[in-house]
Amino acid sequence: MNLFDVYPLFDINIVKGKGCHVWDENGTEYLDLYGGHAVISIGHAHPHYVEMVSNQVATLGFYSNSVINKLQQQVAERLGKVCGYDDYSFFLINSGAEANENALKLASFYNGRTRVISFSKAFHGRTSLAVEVTNNPKIIAPINNCGHVTYLPLNDIEAMKAELSKGDVCTVIIEGIQGVGGIQLPTDEFMQALRQTCTEYNTVLILDEIQSGYGRSGKFFAHQYNGIKADIITVAKGIGNGFPMAGVLISPMFTPVYGQLGTTFGGNHLACSAALAVLDVIEQENLIENAAQVGNFLITELKKFPQIKDVRGRGLMIGLEFEEPIKELRLRLLKEQHVFTGVSGTNVLRLLPPLCLGMDEAKEFLERFKKVL
């Protein structure tokens, strides 16, 4: 049997990681400015993470959600305190798409509506509802195209108010910072108007913080820059530092019902140990503050390059937009300078390094970057 060929792959076999560096099977070292799609939050093979996960798998890796799992409650309590949503509830699952599926489902249970507002260039996942609210027709199969969704331009307050005023919108789902869409930031004015209008029309506001959350922006959640609170927040990627895990933060306005949501693997003992290790390191090593400091340095320095049309982002979620397609530039960075980066569309280079990226590593990236411009 062969693998189903859906990934365009670089001819590189990564076999080892440490901090912000990875190595291939030939021993070549790479600077990791992409973190496996923003997944690596505390760095590859962090010793505390390795110890906690190893100890847990040697004790009990999994049992079902039919019994008490005190590790789940520990994750919920710790996360609530760190992120500022300690009065919310937490539902644990396995992936970002699954988190958004459950968020959308909860919203519809709450007000009985089916219509959803999403935004141009949005990405929320590849499964049923999650892909329907993703603004990319190429990955929406006919069975997913059920007519639930209206896409609006990001930051268009009048268009948003016009749709919500119809009174039939179940939920608005929006990324704290658009990732796949090219590191596009919602404005404070737009987000505050959105919060107010959702409240006015009993529409649930879902913040997808799967890529922009967990300290990546320099705050725990990117929407905290906008001075608002969401009704539901989805998290994944950095929550487990590579272990498959995700969650939904749920406002007290929602009442849980037995059987309403469910999962086989979500919140298992091993996943919770990974999540607790991540929270330990984020707090002990001040990684959110580090993301803000190193990210601000990179953004300031990158804005000095005349070859770059625009530099966007917050913290260690940065997009570099060029006038021309960047496929060759990204390939040269990888092959000649041994730096992993990401891409959004054809013209935007995406930087999503581990939150432990040091100032010396940031400067090293800038030196290597100069050589391919």
pLDDT of residue 22: 99
Tokens found for residue 243: 């272990």
pLDDT of residue 23: 99
DSSP code per residue over 28-60: -EEEESSHHHHT-SS-BT-HHHHHHHHHHHHH-
Q: Does one domain contain both 293 and 172?
A: no
CATH number of the domain bearing residue 257: 3.40.640.10
Q: 226 burial class (0-12, 13-18, 19+ CB within 10 angstroms)?
A: buried
pLDDT of residue 315: 99
Give the residue among 173, 185, 198, 197 at the shortest CA–CA distance from 226.
185
Count the neighbouring beta carbons within 10 Å of the beta carbon of residue 242.
20
The answer to whether 255 and 266 are in contact (CB under 8 A) is no
Q: Does one domain contain both 194 and 302?
A: no
For Cα atoms 108, 111, 117, give the angle at the middle one, nearest 5 degrees: 60
Reported pTM: 0.97
Instruction: Flag residues of the chain having pLDDT under 70.
Output: none
Q: Does one domain contain both 58 and 41?
A: no
Give the residue among 242, 235, 164, 240 at the shortest CA–CA distance from 204.
164
Q: Does one domain contain both 235 and 253?
A: yes
352-363 tens-digit pLDDT: 999 999 999 999
Give the C-alpha separation, 359 to 337, whole Å.
Answer: 18
Q: Does one domain contain both 277 and 338?
A: no
The answer to whether 199 and 191 are in contact (CB under 8 A) is no
Residue 234 inside a domain? The answer is yes
The contacts of residue 62 (CB under 8 Å, 6+ apart) are 265, 268, 269, 270
CATH number of the domain bearing residue 294: 3.90.1150.10
Strand pairing of 115-119 and 169-175? parallel
What mean pLDDT is reported for the chain? Answer: 98
pLDDT of residue 232: 99
Would you give the DSSP letter of residue 212?
Answer: T
The answer to whether 22 and 16 are in contact (CB under 8 A) is yes
- Describe the strand order of the beta sheet including 149-152 as a list of residue ranges: 89-93, 246-250, 232-235, 204-208, 169-175, 115-119, 149-152
Question: Partners of 296 in the beta sheet?
Answer: none
Would you give the DSSP letter of residue 184?
Answer: B
Residue 209 inside a domain? The answer is yes
Quote the domain boundaries for residue 352: 14-46+286-370
For Cα atoms 22, 28, 32, give the angle at the middle one, nearest 5 degrees: 30
Count the neighbouring beta carbons within 10 Å of the beta carbon of residue 218.
23
Residue 3 inside a domain? The answer is no
Q: Does one domain contain both 315 and 245?
A: no
Q: Does one domain contain both 154 and 245?
A: yes
Give the residue among 277, 233, 218, 214 at the shortest CA–CA distance from 39.
214
Domain boundary among 251, 284, 317: 284
Q: 273 burial class (0-12, 13-18, 19+ CB within 10 angstroms)?
A: buried
Residue 223 inside a domain? The answer is yes
Give the residue among 206, 172, 215 at the shortest CA–CA distance from 102.
206
Question: Tell me, what amino acid is at 55?
Answer: N
Which 3 state secondary structure label does DSSP give 145?
coil
Give the residue among 150, 153, 164 at the shortest CA–CA distance from 120.
153
- Describe the strand order of the beta sheet including 339-340 as a list of residue ranges: 14-18, 21-24, 29-32, 339-340
Strand pairing of 115-119 and 149-152? parallel
